[in-house]
């Protein structure tokens, strides 16, 4: 286990270097003998055609609608593909880099379970579990704390992708064929179904499309985790015009006569990836960004809060995810009602940003409007917006930087243990590389943040956070910092 993932970490950096040099060879331009050029449009897949037809029928669509279709559409949405993580996929997440990440998270839950007076029944709930690696690591580490492990009654995953559900079954040792589909409690009959299986350790594991479907006993304390989940939720984007009104940025077909809007260049994007040539060259795409003519109903509804009028100037852009607020409200309600606890870990900032929406493909940033369904689409998480949504429902602590969280929770001690468990220099070097990647401020240590959510009634501050972060509407939160 230690060996395999540590080696994967070093091979990944070689792969990033290789793909970035190869990607530059491919441009969609044909150079003709007479010196003129002709740009070849990318393939018209069923999903691309569906999005094009939708726009042609109804007019330009919101970025949120585009994201939703490109990520989760059953006719080729990105997350329906399954193998999107890891070095063979498009991006690598912290749990995939090293087992140390999940082990440290397990310690956080154990410490707070102790703080709560060791409740007899707990249940893990993870939003967007990917390959299931994080939960597998948490469970393996949790087994070392016998009383804590004995309190765990089950695991619930909120996961939209059927392909990823299969990978999660494999990871947790659940039998895909033995999984039983359970009717949803909701009597509308329209919401998708949940399913239940058995973990090899005897724990029941459930899969759900949405958090609303997760039903736990009243006396069961939920331990929640959302790692790189919120960044995948749809965002709307707006720009403040000369008249002080917000104009929505929409997605139109490339060959319409509307004027395209350029997104910010990759230099303004933060993170540890490089940008690919497709980020600069959008000529092969079937789609383009445009500015809505009047005030859209989305602008009126999404930007209702006065902070958007008072904090931003003409020319500023904001990216807002009402879906994130919806999930956050529910998560906060749930945690408060059941005396639970939650961690939200993601890349982002504690203010509203304006130009972070991007694609990620082959470990590089890419034009998000290129080949829908072929790449991950993401935007930095606005933690201030999540806290704002939870305000009055649960207490939020942080966000604090991932590097600082992992150090405070003892990742260095765990690294030492693992280093001592092997005499292979190569494995030792790879372990240190993975540790650096997770914690270094120039890698994932600063861009990734950790937010803790505790019930309103909770006393005491969770380790390693300071006092709850107050919601201050006058905080100068802009996209220009
Ligand atoms: N937490 C994992 C995976 C992150 S990728 C890790 O860090 O490795 C995002 C995950 O969220 C995927 O599992 C994806 O299928 C899931 N997801 C994305 N949008 C979703 C939605 N609207 N509802 C439920 N799951 C979603």
Establish whether residue 93 lines the binding site of ligand 1, counting it when its CB lies within 6 angstroms of any ligand atom: yes
Mean pLDDT value across residues 108-120? 95
The yes-or-no verdict on residue 324 having pLDDT over 80 is: yes
Residue 234 to residue 314: CA distance in whole angstroms: 24
Ligand 1 within 6 A of CB of 393: no
Residue nearest to atom 17 of ligand 1 (CA): 128
Residue 458 alpha carbon to ligand 1 centre in Å: 29
Enter the pTM of the model.
0.87
Confidence of residue 197 (pLDDT cuts 50, 70, 90): confident
Is residue 325 in contact with ligand 1, taking CB distance under 6 Å?
no
Residue 37 has pLDDT above 70, yes or no: no
Query: Does the pLDDT value for residue 16 go beyond 70?
Result: no
Percent of the chain with pLDDT over 90: 61
Largest CA distance in the chain: 79
- For 423-434, what is each residue's pLDDT tens digit? 999 999 999 999
Q: Is 102 in the pocket of ligand 1 (CB under 6 A)?
A: no
- Please say if the pLDDT value at position 36 is more than 80: no
101 CB near ligand 1 (under 6 Å)? no
The reply to whether ligand 1 has any atom less than 6 angstroms from the CB of 136 is: no
159 lines ligand 1 (CB under 6 A): yes
Non-local (6+) Cβ contacts of 404 within 8 A are: 445, 464
3-state secondary structure of 42: coil
On average, the pLDDT of the chain sits at 84
Query: Which phi and psi (to 5°) does residue 25 adopt?
Result: -75, -25
**pLDDT of res. 199:** 72
* Residue 62 CB–ligand 1 contact under 6 Å: no
Interval between CA 226 and ligand 1 midpoint (Å): 9
Answer whether 91 contacts ligand 1 (Cβ < 6 A).
no
Where helices occur in 356-476 by DSSP H, the ranges are 383-390, 402-408, 411-420, 425-439
Ranges 73-82, 114-123, 254-263, 305-314, most confident = 114-123
Q: Measuring from atom 2 of ligand 1, which residue has the nearest CA? A: 130
Tell me, using a 6 A CB cutoff, whether residue 227 lines ligand 1. Answer: yes
CA atoms within 13 A on the CB side of 46: 5
Report CA(295)–ligand 1 centroid distance (Å).
Answer: 32
Range name among 183-197, 315-329, 375-389 with the lowest pLDDT average:
183-197
A 10 A CB-CB count for 223 gives 28
The residue-averaged pLDDT of 321-334 equals: 95
Residues β-bridged to residue 455: 394
Ligand 1 centroid distance, CA of 43 (Å): 26
Minimal-distance CA residue to ligand 1 atom 10: 128
Mutation choice for ligand 1 from 82, 130, 166, CB with most ligand atoms inside 8 A:
130
- Model pLDDT, residue 87: 67
Q: Distances in Å between the alpha carbon of 472 and those of 76, 296, 351, 374, 476?
A: 42, 28, 11, 40, 9
pLDDT band at 262 (very low <50, low <70, confident <90, very high): confident
* Å from CA of 447 to ligand 1 middle: 19
Query: What pLDDT score does 33 carry?
Result: 65
Residue from 79, 132, 158, 231 to probe ligand 1 pocket by mutation (most atoms less than 8 Å from CB): 79
Can you list the alpha helix ranges (DSSP code H) found in 248-374?
A: 277-280, 297-302, 307-310, 322-337
pLDDT of residue 272: 45
96 lines ligand 1 (CB under 6 A): yes
Q: Is 130 in the pocket of ligand 1 (CB under 6 A)?
A: yes
Confidence of residue 14 (pLDDT cuts 50, 70, 90): very low
Given a cut of 70, whether residue 5 has pLDDT beyond it is no
Q: What is the pLDDT of residue 32?
A: 61
**Averaged pLDDT, 199-205:** 81
- Evaluate: CB of 95 within 6 angstroms of ligand 1: yes
Contacts of 276 (CB under 8 A, 6+ apart): 20, 23, 24, 361, 362, 364, 365, 366
What's the pLDDT score for residue 278?
52
Residue 360, ligand 1, Cβ within 6 A: no
Q: Is the distance from the beta carbon of residue 359 to the nearest atom of ligand 1 less than 6 Å?
A: no
**Ligand 1 midpoint to CA 450 (Å):** 17
**Contact (Cβ atoms closer than 8 angstroms) between residue 411 and residue 435:** yes
Query: Among the ranges 15-19, 50-54, 181-185, which has the highest mean pLDDT value?
Result: 50-54
Residue 86, sorted as left (phi over 0), alpha (psi -120 to 50) or beta, turns out to be left
Closest ligand 1 atom to 161 CA = 15
Task: Decide: 335 and 452 in contact? Cβ < 8 Å.
Answer: no
The predicted structure's pLDDT at residue 202: 82
- Ligand 1 and 213: CB distance under 6 A: no
In which band, very low, low, confident or very high, does the pLDDT at 7 lie, cut at 50, 70 and 90?
very low
Per-residue pLDDT averaged across 80-99, rounded? 81
- Rounded to the nearest angstrom, the distance between the alpha carbon of 158 and the centre of ligand 1 is 8
pLDDT at residue 183, rounded to an integer: 54
Provide the 8-state DSSP code for 124: E
Cα–ligand 1 centroid distance for 233 (angstroms) = 9
Q: Coil, strand or helix: which one is 47? A: helix
- Taking only the tens place, the pLDDT of each residue in 217-239 is 888 999 999 999 999 999 999 99
Higher pLDDT, 243 or 148: 148
Mean pLDDT of 443-467: 93
Question: Does ligand 1 come within 6 angstroms of the Cβ of 160?
Answer: yes
CB of 229 closer than 6 A to ligand 1? yes
CA of 215 to the centre of ligand 1 (A): 20
């Amino acid at each position: 286990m230690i060996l395999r993932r540590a080696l994967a970490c070093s091979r990944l950096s070689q792969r990033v270097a290789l793909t970035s040099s190869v990607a530059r060879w491919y441009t969609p331009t044909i150079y003709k003998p007479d010196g003129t050029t002709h740009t070849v449009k990318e393939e018209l897949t069923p999903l691309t055609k569906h999005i094009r037809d939708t726009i042609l029928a109804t007019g330009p669509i919101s970025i949120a609608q585009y994201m939703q279709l490109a990520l989760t559409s059953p006719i080729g949405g990105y997350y329906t593909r399954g193998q999107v993580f890891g070095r063979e996929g498009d991006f690598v997440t912290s749990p995939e880099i090293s087992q140390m990440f999940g082990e440290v998270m397990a310690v956080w839950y154990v410490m707070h379970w102790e703080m709560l007076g060791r409740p007899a029944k707990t249940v893990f709930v993870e939003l967007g579990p990917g390959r299931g690696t994080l939960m597998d690591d948490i469970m393996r580490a949790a087994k070392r704390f016998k009383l804590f492990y004995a309190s765990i009654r089950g695991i619930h995953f909120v996961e939209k992708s059927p392909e990823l559900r299969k990978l999660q079954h494999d990871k947790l040792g659940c039998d895909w064929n033995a999984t039983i589909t359970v009717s949803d409690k909701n009597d509308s009959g329209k919401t998708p179904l949940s399913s239940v299986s058995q973990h090899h350790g005897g724990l029941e594991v459930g899969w759900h499309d949405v958090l609303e479907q997760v039903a736990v006993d009243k006396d069961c304390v939920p331990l929640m985790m959302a790692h790189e989940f919120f960044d995948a939720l749809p965002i709307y984007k707006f720009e403040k015009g000369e008249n002080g009104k917000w104009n929505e940025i929409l997605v139109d077909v490339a060959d319409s006569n509307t004027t395209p809007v350029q997104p910010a260049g990759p230099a303004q994007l933060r993170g540890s990836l490089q940008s690919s040539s497709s980020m600069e060259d959008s000529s092969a795409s079937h789609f383009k960004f445009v500015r809505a003519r009047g005030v859209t109903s989305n602008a009126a509804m999404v930007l209702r809060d006065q902070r958007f009028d008072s904090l931003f100037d003409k020319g500023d852009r904001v990216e807002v995810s009402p879906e994130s607020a919806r999930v956050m409200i529910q998560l906060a309600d749930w945690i408060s009602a059941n005396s639970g606890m939650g961690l939200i870990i993601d890349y982002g900032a504690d203010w509203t940003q304006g130009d972070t929406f991007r694609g990620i493909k082959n470990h590089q940033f890419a034009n998000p409007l290129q080949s829908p369904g072929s790449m991950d689409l993401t935007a930095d998480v606005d933690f201030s917006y999540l806290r704002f949504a939870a305000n009055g429902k649960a207490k939020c602590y942080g966000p604090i930087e991932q590097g600082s969280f992992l150090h405070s929770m003892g990742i260095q001690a765990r690294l030492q243990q693992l280093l001592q468990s092997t005499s292979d220099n190569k494995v030792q070097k790879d372990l240190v590389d993975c540790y650096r990647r997770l914690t270094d401020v120039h890698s994932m240590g600063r861009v990734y943040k950790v937010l803790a959510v505790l019930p309103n009634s909770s006393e005491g501050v969770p380790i390693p956070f300071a006092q709850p972060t107050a919601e201050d509407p006058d905080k100068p939160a802009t996209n220009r910092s």
